[in-house]
Amino acid sequence: MAAIALSVANMKPLGDRVLVKVSESEEKTAGGILLPDTAKEKPQVGEVTAVGPGKRSDDGSRQAMEVKVGDKVLYSKYAGTDVKIGNDDFVLLSEKDILATLS
């Protein structure tokens, strides 16, 4: 079986899926205590890197996506599928799992 080289450039989410680059987690607390990897929480903030064409409605038309590439978003804690491409962490999730856009 041939290996496939994954890159963000050739990844296109299907339907209402969104590919989000996960922001780095906090390395230390506000008081200056360094956190080990086991104590770090999974980040819930990231930047949209790819967007699918949108969900199909009952009549067959596509519903427009509310987020676009470059948006900073807040998403549900346990939503989506974690994907590692190169050294970067991404999460592939449904648009309904995005809670808010950040400015």
Query: Where would I find the beta strands (DSSP E) of the chain?
Result: 17-22, 45-51, 72-75, 81-85, 88-94, 98-102
In the chain, count H helices and then E strands. 0, 6
pLDDT digits (tens), the chain, 103 positions? 555 667 777 788 999 999 999 987 666 666 777 767 666 667 789 999 999 999 888 998 989 899 999 999 999 988 899 988 888 889 999 999 999 999 8
At 36 the pLDDT is: 72
Q: Where are the domains of the chain?
A: 14-24+42-102
Digit-coded pLDDT (tens) for 13-29: 999 999 999 987 666 66
Cβ-contact 78, 93 below 8 angstroms:
no
Distance of CA 44 to the CA centre of its chain: 9
What is the per-residue pLDDT for 92?
Answer: 94
Among 3.90.550.10, 2.30.33.40, 3.40.50.2300, 2.30.330.10, name the CATH number for the domain at 14-24+42-102. Answer: 2.30.33.40
Residues 9-20 as b/e (b if ≥16 CB within 10 A, e otherwise) read: eeeebeebbbbb
